[in-house]
């Protein structure tokens, strides 16, 4: 028996080793540009690419002070959080109705909602600028939040719909038979059940809103620039060395909230899929 098993053990060890090498290679490849940007902001001024960072300086972070980066950061944090909250909040009831009730045009409305995400951002620049100026949302934080829901709201409805589909309607019926009011049902039964899925959705919404550039650029002028637009502006004047180092420093700093959120969201993401996607499958 032991003789018969040994080749398979060797094979398993080889597979294991290959797997480890693969993972290390992938992580290294993914982190390489990140390393480049870090090197760009702490490295010296002599050459663009200096793999070993022979000259270490924090000048670029110091140079950031006094400019508008801090405002950009604050705006970005507010916009991305508000956008995730707003989209989730209005998408939950809509997704609920899409999964629970058949009504006239439901399929068409659902398709139309999702389809919005496919429209090219370039096509929105002019109309959104005009409409938001008309309703007084141009260059305000709520304006950017609303503009980001162009591509985030369809996503929210779609993901939440995907998860809710797998919660059987018997849950609702049992709750109402047990005498829960509509509000009580949402608060005590449905939302707690959906919490991991809401976490997943909110993470994705936050991610897209945190990084988005084009629409934010289209609806802001000065007061409510998020960090991405600040970066874009600094690229425009990137001809001088110190300026791009400053932009790199801002890029590095803007990565930090992302990593923090990622760290905490990771667990939620896995639990969210425990709910949907029919685990086990067979």
Partner 1 sequence: LKVRRLRWMKFRVWLYLLPVILVIIVNAILPMVVSYNYAALNLIAGMEPTFEGFGMIYRAISDESFLDALGRNGLFTFLVLIIEVPLGILIAKAIPKRGKLGALCMVLIAIPLVLPWASIGLTWRIMVRTGGSLWTIFRTLGAPYSLGNPTHAFGLALLCDIWHWTPLVALVVSAGYAAMRTEPTEAAMIDRASRWAIFRHVELPALGFPILMAVMLRLMDSLRVYDEPFMILGEGPYQSLEFISTNISSSLDSMRFGYGAAQSLIYSFIAIMAFYIISTVITKGRGMK
Residues 104-133 contacting partner 1, CB under 8 A: 106-107, 109-128, 130-131
Q: What is the greatest pairwise CA distance in the chain? A: 80
What gap in Å lies between CA 250 and CA 252, rounded to an integer? 5
CA distances, 123 to each of 112, 132, 220 (Å):
17, 15, 17
Please select the residue that binds partner 1; options are 93, 136, 192, 242, rule is CB under 8 A.
93
Which range of residues in 52-60, 63-71, 87-95, 171-179 is near partner 1 by CB under 8 A?
87-95
Residue 116 per-residue DSSP state: G
Is position 34 an interface residue for partner 1 (rule: CB under 8 A)? yes
User: What is the nearest approach in angstroms of partner 1 to the Cβ of residue 223?
Assistant: 19
**Binding residues among 215-274 for partner 1 as defined by CB under 8 A:** 227-229, 231-232, 235, 238, 244, 247-248, 250-251, 254-255, 257-259, 261-263, 266, 269-274
Burial (CB count within 10 angstroms: exposed 0-12, middle 13-18, buried 19+), residue 279 = exposed
Is position 77 an interface residue for partner 1 (rule: CB under 8 A)? no
**Binding residues among 5-24 for partner 1 as defined by CB under 8 A:** 19, 22-23
**Binding residues among 40-59 for partner 1 as defined by CB under 8 A:** 40, 47-49, 51
Please select the residue that binds partner 1; options are 3, 4, 7, 33, rule is CB under 8 A.
33
Of the candidates 187, 19, 152, 3, which has an alpha carbon nearest to the alpha carbon of residue 80?
152
Please select the residue that binds partner 1; options are 141, 144, 146, 198, rule is CB under 8 A.
146
**Binding residues among 196-215 for partner 1 as defined by CB under 8 A:** 200, 207, 210-214
Is position 36 an interface residue for partner 1 (rule: CB under 8 A)? yes
CB count in 10 Å sphere of residue 90: 14
In the complex with partner 1, the residue whose CB is nearer, 35 or 221, is 35
Q: What is the dihedral sign for C-alpha 214, 208, 134, 224? A: negative
What gap in Å lies between CA 117 and CA 131, rounded to an integer? 19
Please count the residues of this chain forming the interface with partner 1, following the rule CB under 8 A: 107
Residue 223 per-residue DSSP state: T
Residues counted in the chain: 282
In the complex with partner 1, the residue whose CB is nearer, 65 or 281, is 281
């Amino acid at each position: 028996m032991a003789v018969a098993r040994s080749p398979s053990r060797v094979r398993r060890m080889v597979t294991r080793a290959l797997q480890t090498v693969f993972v290390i290679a992938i992580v290294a490849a993914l982190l390489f540009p990140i390393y480049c940007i870090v090197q760009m902001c702490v490295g010296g001024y002599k050459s663009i690419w200096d793999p070993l960072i022979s000259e270490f300086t924090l000048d670029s972070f110091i140079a950031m002070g006094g400019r508008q980066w801090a405002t950009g950061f604050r705006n970005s944090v507010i916009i991305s959080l508000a956008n995730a909250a707003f989209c989730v909040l209005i998408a939950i009831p809509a997704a609920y109705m899409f999964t629970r009730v058949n009504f006239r045009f439901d399929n068409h409305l659902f398709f139309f909602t999702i389809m919005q995400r496919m429209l090219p951002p370039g096509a929105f620049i002019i109309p959104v600028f005009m409409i938001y100026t008309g309703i007084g949302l141009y260059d305000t934080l709520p304006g950017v939040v609303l503009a980001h829901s162009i591509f985030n709201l369809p996503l929210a409805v779609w993901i939440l719909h995907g998860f809710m589909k797998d919660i059987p309607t018997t849950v609702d019926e049992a709750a109402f038979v047990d005498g829960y009011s509509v509000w009580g049902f949402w608060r005590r039964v449905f939302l707690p059940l959906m919490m991991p899925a809401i976490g997943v959705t909110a993470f994705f919404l936050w991610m897209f809103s945190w990084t988005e550039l084009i629409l934010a650029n289209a609806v802001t002028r000065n007061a409510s620039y998020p960090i991405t637009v600040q970066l874009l502006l600094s690229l425009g004047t990137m001809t001088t060395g110190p300026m791009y180092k400053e932009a790199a420093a801002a890029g590095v700093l803007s990565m930090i909230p992302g990593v923090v959120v990622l760290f905490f969201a990771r667990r939620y993401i896995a639990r969210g899929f425990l709910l949907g996607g029919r685990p086990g499958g067979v």
